[in-house]
């Protein structure tokens, strides 16, 4: 099957919570197929010469891409473009991130909700230049056993070979010292260990994904992305760095797990530890019960290379994240209006509801809207109060509603130059919003390559109109324009 890309564009007026992709990730966990998340700083699809951060998902088949697109479209305020592919580019360097400790410990707190969305900082880091963030993931049900073994080991109930040997050695030591061997049931957890056991148990009861996490860009951008990633009991660090890497690749594969080569290399430290003492013992140079200078020399010759090989080839913990952890990296930023991201276009429906408008539980607003539409289709006159039922529209009206005895409203034309209030430089190819005197958004538009704008607006009643203009990326309006009816 041919992999399929899907682009997700957040709407400019949409509201996004932290972990907004958690439901989508749970759906992909049940699908059992690998997927790729790719956030990249690249040219905008709507404005020529403008660079924005765009968000893509890749799936192994068109059928799965269509199903996930419907889930994303119905659960979030976004525009989904199936078939839109990210640009393939060779980046200066690529950093492969790994977990610092065992994957049983999460990178987020299990009791506290994050106060900020890490994706906001990640997107801010990607705006530095040619940069991208890639996450390759697939469900991993076997990882649950590793977390369970970690919890049992911390609770003192582990039956692994390593712990059995350690207990036997400690038992011999206690026998020589005169003390009884410790019992597993007598082990009490200190607060530090208890908190980590609780965090691992929390992660154990969630959907788990085996992942690969990579950041592309220059060295400073990669470092900034790493600092923006979440951390709590565990953290992500740079494992390997590659230079001149092309991304994204067309191949959609499963993330690498514990490979046989890595397992064999991690056991190399046993060779000098067993081979050197055995050879010295056969040659009659080594006697472990004598412990003379020559015996200590043989032990040092065996231990030193073993320690070097263990440090060089020890097994790295696989990157396994649960839904709550992965949704802090895979998703959409919360501050869409303050970040240079590619925004989508809302679908046109028969009646537009303003963002944030709630429909009551009995469906009264829907029934009232339907009655208005049906009367319009039958060309029946509207009641006087029907005008107040229409919700606010974030676009200018081309025609104003006419009332008996009142003149038809005329559109007013506004034009000017939008500048940065601090530097005075023109804001070229910049999206901006227009607010009326009540603070309502009445228009969204773009400036041209010189920073100039021109738009029309039809007021409802006032003879003179004052509008405020707020460019995207600014917290407050920076320009006020006014016009009067002739």
124 plus 46 within the same structural domain: yes
Number of domains in the chain: 4
Residue given tokens 């400790």 in the structure block: 101
Q: How many CA atoms lie within 13 A of 54 on its CB side?
A: 23
Which residues in 115-134 are b (16+ Cβ under 10 Å) and which e?
A: eebbbbbbbbbbeeebbbbb
Give me the pLDDT at residue 169, please.
56
Asked whether residue 209 is domain-assigned, the answer is: yes
**In sequence order, what are the residues at sequence separation of 6 or more whose Cβ sits closer than 8 angstroms to the Cβ of residue 329?**
37, 118, 119, 122, 133, 135, 213, 229, 230, 321
Could you list the residue range(s) of the whole structural domain that residue 289 is in? 259-314
Give me the pLDDT at residue 355, please.
41
432 plus 284 within the same structural domain: no
Give me the pLDDT at residue 362, please.
39
Distance CA 59, CA 63 (A): 9
370 plus 421 within the same structural domain: no
404 plus 480 within the same structural domain: yes
Give the pLDDT confidence of 413-462 residue by residue, as tens digits: 888 898 888 788 888 878 888 888 888 888 888 888 888 888 888 777 66
Give me the pLDDT at residue 56, please.
97
Give me the pLDDT at residue 266, please.
64
Give me the pLDDT at residue 131, please.
95
SS3 of 232, please?
coil
Asked whether residue 334 is domain-assigned, the answer is: yes
| Average of per-residue pLDDT values in the chain | 79
Give the pLDDT confidence of 43-82 residue by residue, as tens digits: 998 888 899 999 999 999 999 999 999 999 999 999 999 9
Give me 147's structure tokens: 């977390």
Give me the pLDDT at residue 396, please.
41
100 plus 228 within the same structural domain: yes
Asked whether residue 251 is domain-assigned, the answer is: yes
Closest Cα to residue 459, out of 367, 396, 378, 390? 396
- Residues in the chain, pLDDT under 70: 157-187, 257-266, 312-316, 347-409, 461-463, 485-486
327 plus 443 within the same structural domain: no
Q: What is the CATH number of the domain that holds 466?
A: 2.60.40
């Amino acid at each position: 099957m041919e992999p399929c890309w899907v682009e997700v564009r957040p709407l400019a007026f949409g509201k996004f919570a932290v972990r907004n992709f958690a439901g989508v990730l749970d759906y992909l966990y049940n699908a059992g197929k690998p997927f790729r998340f790719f956030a990249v700083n690249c040219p905008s699809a709507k404005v020529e010469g403008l660079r924005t951060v765009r968000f893509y998902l890749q799936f192994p088949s068109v059928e799965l891409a269509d199903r996930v697109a419907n889930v994303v479209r119905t659960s979030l305020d976004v525009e989904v473009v199936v078939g839109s592919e990210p640009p393939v580019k060779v980046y200066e360097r690529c950093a492969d991130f790994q977990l610092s400790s065992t994957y049983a410990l999460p990178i987020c707190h299990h009791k506290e909700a994050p106060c900020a969305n890490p994706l906001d900082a990640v997107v801010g880091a990607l705006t530095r230049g040619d940069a991208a963030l890639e996450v390759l993931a697939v469900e991993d049900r076997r990882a649950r056993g590793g977390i369970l073994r970690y919890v049992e080991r911390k609770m003192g109930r582990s039956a692994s070979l390593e712990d059995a040997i350690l207990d036997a050695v400690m038992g011999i030591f206690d026998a020589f010292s005169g003390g009884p061997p410790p019992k597993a049931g007598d082990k009490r957890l200190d607060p530090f260990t208890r908190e980590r056991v609780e965090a691992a148990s929390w992660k154990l009861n969630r959907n788990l994904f085996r992942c690969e996490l990579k950041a592309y860009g220059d060295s400073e951008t990669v470092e900034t992305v790493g600092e923006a990633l979440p951390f709590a009991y565990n953290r992500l660090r740079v494992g390997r760095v590659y230079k001149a890497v092309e991304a994204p690749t067309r191949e959609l594969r499963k993330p690498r797990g514990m490979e046989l080569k890595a397992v064999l290399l991690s056991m190399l430290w046993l060779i000098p530890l067993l081979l050197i003492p055995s050879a010295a013992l056969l040659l009659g140079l080594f006697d472990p019960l004598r412990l003379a200078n020559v015996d200590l020399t043989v032990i040092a010759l065996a231990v030193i290379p073993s320690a070097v090989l263990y440090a060089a080839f020890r097994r790295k913990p696989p990157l396994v994240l649960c839904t709550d952890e992965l949704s802090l990296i895979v998703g959409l930023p919360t501050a869409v209006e303050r970040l240079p991201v590619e925004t989508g276009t809302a679908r046109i429906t028969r009646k537009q509801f303003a963002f944030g408008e709630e429909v009551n539980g009995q469906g009264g607003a829907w029934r009232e809207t339907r009655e208005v539409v049906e009367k319009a289709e039958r060309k029946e006159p509207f009641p006087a109060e029907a005008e107040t039922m229409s919700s606010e529209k974030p676009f200018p009206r081309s025609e104003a509603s006419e009332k008996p005895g009142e003149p038809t409203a005329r559109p007013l034309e506004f034009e000017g130059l939008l500048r940065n209030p601090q530097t005075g430089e023109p804001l070229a190819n910049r999206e901006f919003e227009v607010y009326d005197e009540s603070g309502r958004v009445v228009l969204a538009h773009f400036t041209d390559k010189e920073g100039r704008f021109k738009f029309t607006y039809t007021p409802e009643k006032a003879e003179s109109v004052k509008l405020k203009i707020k460019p995207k990326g600014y917290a407050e309006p920076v320009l006020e324009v006014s016009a009067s009816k002739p």
